[in-house]
Amino acid sequence: MCVPRHPVAGVAECETGNTLDIGMRNRGNRPQVASAPVRIAWHGRCTSSGRPPATSLKPASFRTARGNRPPMPDGAAFNTAPPIATLHVLAAFPVLSETFISNEIRALRARGHRVVPLAIAPYDGPCQPEDEAFRAETVALGDQPRLPAMLGALAHPAGLARALAFCRAQRALSLPSLLLAGARAALVARRAGVRHVHAHYAHGAAAIGIVAARLSGLTCSFISHGYDLYGSPTDIPAKLAAADAVVATCEDMKADFLAMRPGTPVHVIPCGVDPARFRRPATPPPSNGRILAIGRLAEQKGYPVLIEALALLPEAERPVVEAVGAGPLLAELQALAAARGVAGQMRFLGPRPSTWIAEHGPAYAGFVAPYVICANGDRDTSPVSVKEAMGMELPVLASTVTGNKEMVTPETGRLVEPADAAALAEGLRWLAGLAPEERRRLGAAGRQRLLDRFTLDRQAECLGAVFAGCRDA
């Protein structure tokens, strides 16, 4: 029986404590926590009967399945770091709503880095079409043989001692469970010949990455994306103390990390976008007069506030807002829009691939990001969709939640307080009423800001410098 200690933290633990059942929080297109656990003690994927299939292991290879640390000057120029081979520890991969991970890997590879993706749990759900190729090369943690992994851990007493110290400092996972998962990840790291371990999300992936790095004598880092810090944090101070570097996606997140553990080497590296892909075409399409919103239909996206804001405007002044995305609140939001009399102006288009965004986005009159802070503290910290809109030269109306205020300026759009329907309504009136020349000026300034600060190549450059800095410390 699987009993989640932290039902939304990304990790559930079996009562026996001998295996690690990894599930993911119910967000995006991820598997459910504890609904169909993947027991890492098994050497393969679960069959429909719930039993592990018989598998053979490739010898001397992994199987694919589908101190004193100098800070990096945030936002400053620095010499390009030499390429480095990294193991990326991921809860599941590739996932439809987490294009920032696949984009990061591609950008690092474009700079000459070798990246080995390691998924904690098998995942066969939807992903972006361009990410399908990642399925074949992603290494499955559960497929790694137990005995060689544990023998490898025992062969390095100093590293084992450091790994055990972290296992005891954290509380989310039992020591045997975490040690075994880390030993399997360390086995992958040694056989792949990587030099650094990097984890996405500060939940189970960060814990496993830290243990794997200690067991294999490598450096490690992790990045937080918001929910893992604000919505359901687990053992954050222990992870800050154990990692060689921590990546925050915005300045607010960095400040919150440092408040938990002053002196931690935290680097602000926003998730970037490809400006060559998200851009206004040479011959711009005529404006369709509508406003675009992109995001999963979930609490932190602030769609109820957007609906209330539309309802505050006189009918003749209401712009049409089209929301791209799916999520658990669809029926509730549709009912709210109907009840407020704005069903005709608040349209839900459902999920669309990133190719659709790049093709159709430039025709919109503007972009709205009415994000809020959830009741549990969850929030968006560096929304990629806002940067995609800036790349397509759309004026942006956004709330001041965390990373938004670092992206949107008076020269590129307008900021309003989160959950303030009246202020958002005035912002919608302003955005819909922009003169064509003002719309073009704001859009051009937004793209220039993107080029200066938020490109994928810059993100990869900064990450490479962090990885190299860990190795050089």
If you ran DSSP here, which 8-state letter would residue 142 be given?
G
DSSP per residue, 184-221: HHHHHHHHHT-SEEEEESTTHHHHHHHHHHHHHT-EEE
Q: Which residue has the tokens 């990629």?
A: 384
Same domain? 342 vs 389? yes
Q: What is the mean pLDDT of residues 358-377?
A: 97
Q: Which residue has the tokens 């792949």?
A: 192
Per-residue confidence (pLDDT) for residue 79, from 0 to 100: 53
Given a cut of 60, whether residue 74 has pLDDT beyond it is no
Beta bridge partners of 38: 22
Q: What is the pLDDT of residues 370-418, one digit of tens each?
A: 999 999 999 999 899 999 999 999 999 999 998 999 999 999 999 999 9
Is residue 281 one of the residues assigned to a domain? no
Same domain? 376 vs 312? yes
Given a cut of 60, whether residue 67 has pLDDT beyond it is no
- Total domain count, the chain: 2
Same domain? 193 vs 305? no
56 pLDDT tier (thresholds 50, 70, 90):
very low
Lowest mean per-residue pLDDT among 11-20, 129-138, 266-275: 11-20
Is residue 284 one of the residues assigned to a domain? no
Task: Return the amino acid letter for 42.
Answer: W
Is residue 251 one of the residues assigned to a domain? yes
69 pLDDT tier (thresholds 50, 70, 90):
very low
Is residue 282 one of the residues assigned to a domain? no
Q: Which residue has the tokens 């549709």?
A: 334
Given a cut of 50, whether residue 72 has pLDDT beyond it is no
Angle (nearest 5°) at CA 112 between 107 and 117? 60
Is residue 280 one of the residues assigned to a domain? no
Q: What is the mean pLDDT of the chain?
A: 86
Q: What is the pLDDT of residues 219-274, one digit of tens each?
A: 999 999 999 999 999 999 999 999 999 999 999 999 999 999 999 999 999 999 99
If you ran DSSP here, which 8-state letter would residue 300 be given?
G
Given a cut of 80, whether residue 101 has pLDDT beyond it is yes
Per-residue confidence (pLDDT) for residue 3, from 0 to 100: 30
Same domain? 116 vs 230? yes
Same domain? 247 vs 127? yes
Same domain? 299 vs 380? yes
Is residue 279 one of the residues assigned to a domain? no
Given a cut of 60, whether residue 19 has pLDDT beyond it is no
472 pLDDT tier (thresholds 50, 70, 90):
confident
Q: What is the mean pLDDT of residues 135-143?
A: 97
Per-residue confidence (pLDDT) for residue 97, from 0 to 100: 85
Same domain? 366 vs 419? yes
Given a cut of 80, whether residue 29 has pLDDT beyond it is no
Percentage of residues in the chain having pLDDT higher than 90: 80
Same domain? 461 vs 442? no
Per-residue confidence (pLDDT) for residue 286, from 0 to 100: 92
Same domain? 251 vs 237? yes
Q: What is the mean pLDDT of residues 354-373?
A: 97
Here the CATH number for the domain that contains residue 445 is 3.40.50.2000
Is residue 348 one of the residues assigned to a domain? yes
Which range of residues forms the domain containing residue 345?
A: 291-453
Q: What is the pLDDT of residues 288-344, one digit of tens each?
A: 999 999 999 999 999 999 999 999 999 999 999 999 999 999 999 999 999 999 999
Question: What's the pTM value of the predicted model, to 2 decimals?
Answer: 0.83
Assigned token pair, 465: 């410098």
Per-residue confidence (pLDDT) for residue 10, from 0 to 100: 35
Q: What is the mean pLDDT of residues 367-372?
A: 98
What is the rounded distance in angstroms from the CA atom of residue 454 to the CA atom of residue 443? 15
112 versus 40: the higher-pLDDT residue is 112
Same domain? 230 vs 342? no
Percentage of residues in the chain having pLDDT higher than 70: 83
If you ran DSSP here, which 8-state letter would residue 143 be given?
G
Q: Which is nearest to 105 in space by CA: 113, 97, 278?
A: 113
Lowest mean per-residue pLDDT among 24-38, 78-92, 140-154, 366-380: 24-38
63 versus 426: the higher-pLDDT residue is 426
Per-residue confidence (pLDDT) for residue 92, from 0 to 100: 96
Same domain? 137 vs 17? yes
Q: Which is nearest to 91 in space by CA: 166, 33, 19, 13?
A: 33
Same domain? 27 vs 175? yes
Is residue 285 one of the residues assigned to a domain? no
What is the rounded distance in angstroms from the CA atom of residue 349 to the CA atom of residue 352? 8
